Amino acid sequence: MSKKTPPQSGAVVAAVAAPSLPVPTHAEPAAVGLPNGHLVTRAPDVMVDRALRALAARVTNGTSPQAASAAWADYIAHLSRAPGHQMQLIRDAQQSYARLMRQAFGLGGEERVPHPGDHRFDHAGWESPPFSFWKQGFLAAQDWWAEATHEIRGMQPKNAQRVGFTVGQMLDMLAPSNFPLTNPEIIERTLQTGGHNLIKGGENFAADMMQQVAGGEPDQKSSFEVGRNLASTPGQVVFRNDLFELIQYAAQTRTVQAEPILIVPAWIMKYYILDLSQTNSLIAYLVAQGFTVFAMSWCNPTAAQRDLSLDDYHKHGVMAALDAVTKIVPAAKVHACGYCLGGTILSIATATMARNKDDRLASITLLAAQTDFVEAGELLLFIDDSQIAFLEDMMWEKGFLDEKQMSSAFRALRASDLVWSRAVRRYWLGEEEPDFDIAVWNADGTRMPSRMHSEYLRGLFMENRLTAGRFAVDGEVIALRDIEVPFFVLGTESDHIAPWRSVYKAALFTDSELTFALTSGGHNGGILSPPGSAHRHYRIGCRTRDDRYVDPETWARNHPAKEGSWWLDWAAWLTRKSTGSLVTPPAMGAKDAGLAPLCPAPGTYVFQK
| Max Cα-Cα span within the chain | 84
pLDDT at 10 over 90: no
CA 19 – CA 474 distance, rounded (Å) = 8
CA 402 – CA 379 distance, rounded (Å) = 17
Q: What is the pLDDT of residues 377-429, one digit of tens each?
A: 777 777 888 888 888 888 888 899 887 777 777 777 777 887 899 999 999 99
Q: Note whether residue 495 is domain-resident.
A: yes
Residue (of 475, 484, 547, 589) closest to 239 by Cα position:
589
CA 50 – CA 58 distance, rounded (Å) = 13
CA 237 – CA 295 distance, rounded (Å) = 9
* Per-residue confidence (pLDDT) for residue 61, from 0 to 100: 66
CA dihedral 173, 178, 179, 184 (to 10 degrees): 150
Bigger pLDDT: 58 or 470?
470
* Per-residue confidence (pLDDT) for residue 408, from 0 to 100: 72
* Per-residue confidence (pLDDT) for residue 212, from 0 to 100: 76
- Strand pairing category for 472-473 and 361-367: unpaired
CA distances from 372 to 59, 309, 520 (A): 33, 20, 22
Positions of E strands within 102-179 = none
Please tell me which residue in 299, 337, 340, 599 is annotated as part of the active site.
340
Judge contact between 381 and 161, C-beta under 8 A.
Answer: yes
Q: What is the pLDDT of residues 539-552, one digit of tens each?
A: 999 999 999 999 99
Residues 6+ apart with CB under 8 A from 385: 462
CA dihedral 166, 170, 172, 173 (to 10 degrees): 140
pLDDT band for position 48 (cuts 50, 70, 90): confident
H/E stretch holding 556 reads helix 552-558
Q: Note whether residue 78 is domain-resident.
A: yes
Bigger pLDDT: 591 or 38?
591
Q: Note whether residue 283 is domain-resident.
A: no
Q: What is the pLDDT of residues 357-383, one digit of tens each?
A: 999 999 999 999 999 999 887 777 778
Judge contact between 598 and 238, C-beta under 8 A.
Answer: yes
Known catalytic residue at 340: yes
Sign for the pseudo-dihedral over CA of 122, 128, 134, 138: positive
Tell the burial category of 545 from Cβ atoms under 10 Å away from its Cβ (0-12, 13-18, 19+): exposed
Mean pLDDT of 515-520: 98
CA 270 – CA 607 distance, rounded (Å) = 9
Q: Note whether residue 53 is domain-resident.
A: no
State which of 39-48, 208-217, 234-243, 388-397 shows the largest mean pLDDT.
234-243
Q: Note whether residue 40 is domain-resident.
A: no
Residue (of 149, 154, 167, 157) closest to 78 by Cα position:
154
- Strand pairing category for 293-298 and 244-249: antiparallel
The answer to which of 352-361, 411-420, 475-484 has the lowest mean pLDDT is 411-420
Positions of E strands within 225-354 = 225-226, 235-240, 244-249, 256-257, 261-264, 293-298, 334-339
For residue 445, give the DSSP letter: B
Residues 6+ apart with CB under 8 A from 49: none
Mean pLDDT of 5-19: 36
Report the percent of the chain where pLDDT is more than 90: 70
* Per-residue confidence (pLDDT) for residue 52, from 0 to 100: 72
- Strand pairing category for 448-449 and 400-401: antiparallel
Q: SS3 of 456, please?
A: helix
pLDDT at 530 over 80: yes
CA 494 – CA 25 distance, rounded (Å) = 36
Q: Note whether residue 156 is domain-resident.
A: yes
How many domains does one find in the chain? 2
* Per-residue confidence (pLDDT) for residue 59, from 0 to 100: 65
* Per-residue confidence (pLDDT) for residue 74, from 0 to 100: 94
Positions of E strands within 126-188 = none
Peptide bond preceding 130: is omega within 30 degrees of 0, i.e. cis?
A: yes
Q: What is the pLDDT of residues 174-203, one digit of tens each?
A: 999 999 999 999 999 999 999 999 999 999
Judge contact between 222 and 578, C-beta under 8 A.
Answer: no
CA 495 – CA 500 distance, rounded (Å) = 7
Strands of 244-249's sheet in order across: 562-563, 537-543, 514-519, 487-492, 361-367, 334-339, 261-264, 293-298, 244-249, 235-240, 599-600
Domain end, chosen from 192, 224, 257, is at: 192
Question: pTM for this one?
Answer: 0.86
The residues pairing with 41 across neighbouring beta strands, listed in sequence order, are 31
Q: What is the pLDDT of residues 276-308, one digit of tens each?
A: 999 999 999 999 999 999 999 999 999 999 999
Quote the Cα angle for 489-527-589, to 5°: 85
Q: Note whether residue 256 is domain-resident.
A: no
Domain of 568 in residue numbering reads as 357-365+464-578
Q: Can you spell out the DSSP letters for 50-106?
A: HHHHHHHHHHHTT--HHHHHHHHHHHHHHHHT-HHHHHHHHHHHHHHHHHHHHHHTT
Q: Note whether residue 341 is domain-resident.
A: no
Q: What is the CA radius of gyration of the chain?
A: 26
State which of 96-105, 313-322, 441-450 shows the largest mean pLDDT.
313-322
CA 314 – CA 319 distance, rounded (Å) = 6
257 phi/psi in degrees, rounded to 5: -60, 145
